[in-house]
Amino acid sequence: MKTLVLPAARADIVRQVGYFIEIGQEHIADRFLVAARIAIEHLSHTPQAGAPRPMKSPRLAGLRTWPIEGFDDMKIYYLVADDALTVVRILHGRRDIERILER
């Protein structure tokens, strides 16, 4: 399955890695980066694995979520259409997800 990671999702990864480095946890930054890559790869093979997340916006219809192993509060928010998986964002689950994604 073709996988596209949107620029906002890439920025989310960079931001999270930067945060871990900033607090002196470089080894956790490395582990997060690897775990995010593995999770995205897993979803590209089993895109229906993630839990559906109802959204008000029609453009986000079918949005699904999947946790990043070892960082379970960090979720991948993605869409599946035909033969393509689009990673929309990678965010901490305690944030105001709907507000962020509706922008």
Where along the chain do its domains lie?
2-102
Identity (one letter) of the amino acid at 79? Answer: L
Give the pLDDT score at 57. 81
Rounded-to-integer distance, Cα 87 and Cα 22, Å: 25
**Mean pLDDT, to the nearest integer, of 20-47?**
96
pLDDT confidence bin for 65, thresholds 50/70/90: very high
In angstroms, rounded to a whole number, what is the distance separating the alpha carbons of residues 65 and 51? Answer: 5
CATH 3.40.50.300 is held by the domain 2-102: no
What's this model's pTM, rounded to 2 decimal places?
Answer: 0.92
| Helix (H), strand (E) at residue 31 | helix 26-45
